[in-house]
C-alpha cells in the first residue's frame, strides 16, 4: 500500500517545524534529489507557512554525479568555481536554515575511481571548509530521508513493494503514524535522551573502555569539560531548538583528539561517497588509525583515513542502545543517518566544537587546542555489537558500567 497523503503531510510538517524549526524571516537552503521534486514542493510550502523569507533549492542527482566522475578530468572536479564559493560566502551572511533530504542509491558510485573521489573532496574542502566552520553552531539544520527506488531495492532485494516497505521503516523510526502526534512523540523521546546525557555529564568520566567478543578492545580519553549531548541542539544566534537528525537515538560527545588505543570492529557496512565498505576494523595506536582491514572497500577505507591530518583520529563517540527502533526493525539501511542510530558508533574526522561550554565562540584552531579534532571529513561507523560492554572510568580510576550487552547498564 502506497504511503498516504496524510502521512506525507505529517512527515513534512515534522521535518520543517520540529527538525529544522524554521523561524520567521529565515532563509532556508533545501538539498534534495531531482526525483523527489513533489515532496520538495511540500517542504518548500511548509517552510513558507512557517515564515521563511526565501527557500533556495539545491537539486542533486546520483546519475549526474556519477557521469561527472566517470568523464570529467580530476582537476576539473577538484576546482571550486567562483560562483560556488560566492554561494558559500553568502551562507555566512544569511546563516540559512538547512534541510537535507537523503535518498541516495548506496551503489550509485560503483565503478568510480576512489582516488578521483577523494582527491576532488580534499581539494574542494580546502576552499569551502572555512565557510562551513564560520556557520557551525550558528544555524539550524536537519537531515531526513525519502526512499528512492534504487535505495529501496538495495534494502529489500527482489521485493515488488520495496519502496512501500522502506517508507514504513522510515516512518516508524521517526515516530510518524496515522493516529499519533509525532511532535509529542519527539518531545518525550528527546526528554529521555536528555536524562541519559545529564547522567553521563554528572559522572565526569575521564575515559571510556569498549569490549566485545568480535575483537573490539578499545579505550578512548574524554575531554574534561566536554558535554554529552542528546537529540537536539540550539542555534547560538537565535536560541532556536532543532533536531539535526531524524531519526536519532544517540547521545554523543567529542573525545580528546589523538588519545585512544586499540581496535574497533564494525558491525555494519559503511556507505561512503555512495560506495560500500564491509566487514572492516580499524586499529588505533597513540590516538591515530595505524591499520585497517576490510573484506570489501579496503582501498576506499585506506584513502578515507588518509584524507587529511585529522582523518585518522576520532571526532565523535556515540552511545545507542540495541533497543533502538532502527535496530529493532532488523533492516540494514545502507544509509548512515539510519544505521548509526541502530547501535553505538564512532566517527573519524572533525569533532563538535559545540560540546565545549564556550564552543560556539571558538575558532577551529582554538577548538583543536582544546582537544576537538579537525578534518574535512566526519564519517560514522557502527561498532555496537550485541554483547558490547562499555565502562566509564572516573579520574580517580573508579570503573562504572555504562553499557552491558549492547544496552544501558
Q: For residue range 28-38, what is the model confidence (pLDDT) as tens digits?
A: 999 999 999 99
pTM of the model as a whole? 0.87
Query: Residue range 210-232: average pLDDT?
Result: 96
CATH number assigned to the domain comprising residue 164: 3.40.1830.10
User: In angstroms, rounded to a whole number, what is the distance separating the alpha carbons of residues 336 and 186?
Assistant: 20
d(Cα 355, Cα 357) in Å, to the nearest integer?
Answer: 6
Enter the C-alpha cell of residue 73: 578530468
Are 44 and 141 within one domain? yes
130 in the same domain as 274 = no
Q: What percent of the chain clears pLDDT 90, i.e. is strictly above it?
A: 87
Average of per-residue pLDDT across 229-251: 92
pLDDT at 56 over 60: yes
| Helix/strand number for the chain, H first, E second | 13, 19
In order, the DSSP letters of 342-372 are TS-EEEEE---GGGSTTGGGS-HHHHHHTT-
Average pLDDT over residues 209-228: 97
Average pLDDT of span 297-301: 94
Give residue 275's pLDDT.
83
Share of the chain above pLDDT 70, in %: 100
The answer on 271 and 155 residing in a single domain is no
Q: Tell whether the model's pLDDT for residue 138 goes beyond 60.
A: yes
Domain membership flag for residue 242: no
Whether 201 shows a pLDDT value over 80: the answer reads yes
Integer Cα distance of 148 and 167 in angstroms: 10
pLDDT at 1 over 70: no
Give residue-wise pLDDT tens across range 110-129. 899 988 988 898 899 899 98
Q: How many residues does the chain have?
A: 409
CA distance 185 to 183: 5
Residues 290 and 402 in one domain: yes
Q: What is the pLDDT of residue 362?
A: 85
pLDDT, average across residues 237-256: 95
Is 159 inside any structural domain? Answer: yes
Domain that holds residue 55: 5-173
Per-residue pLDDT band at 336 (split at 50, 70, 90): confident
pLDDT of 168 reads 95
Amino acid at each position: 500500500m502506497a504511503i498516504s497523503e496524510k502521512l506525507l503531510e505529517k512527515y513534512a510538517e515534522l521535518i520543517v517545524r520540529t527538525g529544522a524549526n524554521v523561524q520567521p524571516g529565515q532563509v532556508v537552503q533545501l538539498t534534495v534529489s531531482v526525483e523527489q521534486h513533489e515532496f520538495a514542493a511540500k517542504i518548500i510550502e511548509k517552510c513558507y507557512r512557517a515564515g521563511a523569507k526565501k527557500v533556495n533549492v539545491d537539486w542533486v542527482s546520483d546519475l549526474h554525479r556519477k557521469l561527472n566522475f566517470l568523464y570529467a578530468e580530476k582537476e576539473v572536479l577538484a576546482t571550486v568555481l567562483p560562483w560556488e564559493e560566492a554561494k558559500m560566502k553568502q551562507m555566512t551572511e544569511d546563516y540559512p536554515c538547512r534541510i537535507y533530504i537523503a535518498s541516495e542509491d548506496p551503489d550509485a558510485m560503483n565503478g568510480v575511481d576512489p582516488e578521483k573521489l577523494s582527491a576532488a573532496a580534499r581539494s574542494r574542502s580546502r576552499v569551502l571548509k572555512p565557510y562551513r566552520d564560520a556557520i557551525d553552531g550558528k544555524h539550524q539544520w536537519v537531515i531526513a530521508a525519502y526512499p528512492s527506488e534504487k535505495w529501496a531495492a538495495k534494502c529489500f532485494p527482489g521485493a515488488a513493494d520495496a519502496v512501500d516497505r522502506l517508507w514504513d521503516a522510515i516512518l516508524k523510526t521517526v515516530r510518524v503514524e496515522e493516529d499519533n502526534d509525532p511532535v509529542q512523540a519527539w518531545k518525550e523521546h528527546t526528554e529521555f535522551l536528555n536524562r541519559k546525557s545529564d547522567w553521563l555529564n554528572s559522572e565526569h568520566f575521564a575515559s571510556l573502555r569498549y569490549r566485545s567478543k568480535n575483537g573490539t578492545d578499545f579505550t578512548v580519553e574524554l575531554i574534561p569539560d566536554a558535554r554529552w549531548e542528546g537529540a537536539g541542539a540550539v542555534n547560538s544566534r537565535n536560541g532556536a531548538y532543532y533536531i539535526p537528525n531524524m531519526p536519532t537515538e544517540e547521545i554523543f560527545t567529542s573525545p580528546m583528539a589523538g588519545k585512544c588505543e586499540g581496535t574497533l570492529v564494525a558491525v555494519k557496512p559503511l556507505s561512503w561517497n555512495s560506495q560500500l565498505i564491509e566487514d572492516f576494523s580499524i586499529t588505533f595506536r597513540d590516538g591515530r588509525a595505524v591499520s585497517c582491514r576490510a573484506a570489501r572497500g579496503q582501498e576506499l577505507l585506506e584513502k578515507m583515513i588518509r584524507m587529511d591530518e585529522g582523518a585518522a583520529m576520532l571526532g565523535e563517540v556515540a552511545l545507542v542502545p540495541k533497543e533502538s527502533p532502527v535496530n529493532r526493525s532488523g533492516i540494514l539501511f545502507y544509509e548512515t543517518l539510519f544505521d548509526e542510530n541502530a547501535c553505538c558508533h564512532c566517527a573519524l574526522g572533525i569533532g563538535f566544537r559545540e560540546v565545549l561550554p564556550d564552543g560556539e565562540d571558538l575558532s577551529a584552531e582554538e577548538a583543536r587546542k582544546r582537544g576537538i579534532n579537525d578534518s574535512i571529513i566526519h564519517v560514522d561507523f557502527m561498532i555496537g555489537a550485541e554483547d558490547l560492554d562499555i565502562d566509564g572510568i572516573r579520574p580517580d580510576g573508579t570503573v562504572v558500567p555504562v553499557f552491558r550487552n549492547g544496552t544501558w547498564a
